[in-house]
Amino acid sequence: MNSLVDTARITLRNSFARAASFFAIWLILFGFEPPALLVGALAAIATTWASLALLPSAQRSPRPVALGRMLLRFFPQSVTAGIDVARRALDPRMPLRPGFVVYHSRLPPGPMQSAFCSMVSLLPGTLPSGSDGSGGLVIHCLDIGQPVVEQLAAEEALFVRALGGERGGG
């Protein structure tokens, strides 16, 4: 019984968060004019209903502190990696050793794994390129001598924690 109540609470909270997000986007696009507010509210309700039908609410919810930690790590890491990529590309003394590594994600194939791949693709020097026969993610990287798999594991752990998967650290 308690599990059912928790599930309903999480679903309701996620539904309100989606509706508020859709309404906020409406306000950004169309402003705070009174007629637009009514249309925006109706559009947010319809969009929330459609999004719940297409992508049902997960049994977890984002953890703001862990999400903040992930973002605070992501931006400086992205800049540092971008500088490293530029240095490797422009300095002839630093030869590139491009290649592919296979990363076995703990995330099942689906929306969460796709979101993780999208995040990884934003980090310079790594690009998810598909999957291999065993279900591992094939990642193109600029230097196969770097600890790419270990870095991906660390990023995935932060990603999972931020989206409410594991408890601890946030």
Same domain, 106 and 139: yes
The answer to whether residue 59 sits within a structural domain is: no
Q: What pLDDT is attached to residue 74?
A: 80
- What is the per-residue pLDDT across 9-53, written as a single tens digit (0 to 9) for each? 777 888 888 899 899 999 999 888 888 899 999 999 999 998 888
Q: Which of 11, 28, 54 is the last residue of a domain?
A: 54
Same domain, 91 and 41: no
Q: What pLDDT is attached to residue 60?
A: 60
Same domain, 48 and 124: no
The answer to whether residue 15 sits within a structural domain is: yes
**Phi and psi angles of residue 127, each rounded to the nearest 5 degrees, phi first:** -150, 110
The answer to whether residue 170 sits within a structural domain is: no
Same domain, 154 and 78: yes
Please give the tally of structural domains in the chain: 2
- Which whole number is the average pLDDT over 78-103? 84
Same domain, 136 and 88: yes
pLDDT at 166 > cutoff 60: no
Same domain, 119 and 157: yes
At 102, the amino acid letter reads V
**Distant-in-sequence, close-in-space partners of 9: CB < 8 Å, separation ≥ 6:** none
More confident: 67 or 157: 157
Same domain, 38 and 70: no
For residue 33, the enclosing domain spans 2-54
The answer to whether residue 35 sits within a structural domain is: yes
Same domain, 157 and 73: yes
Same domain, 127 and 74: yes
Q: Which residue has the tokens 């196969």?
A: 144
Same domain, 44 and 85: no
Q: What pLDDT is attached to residue 170?
A: 40
Same domain, 12 and 81: no
Helix crossing, 111-121 with 148-162: angle to 10°? Answer: 130
Q: Which of 54, 78, 97 is the last residue of a domain?
A: 54
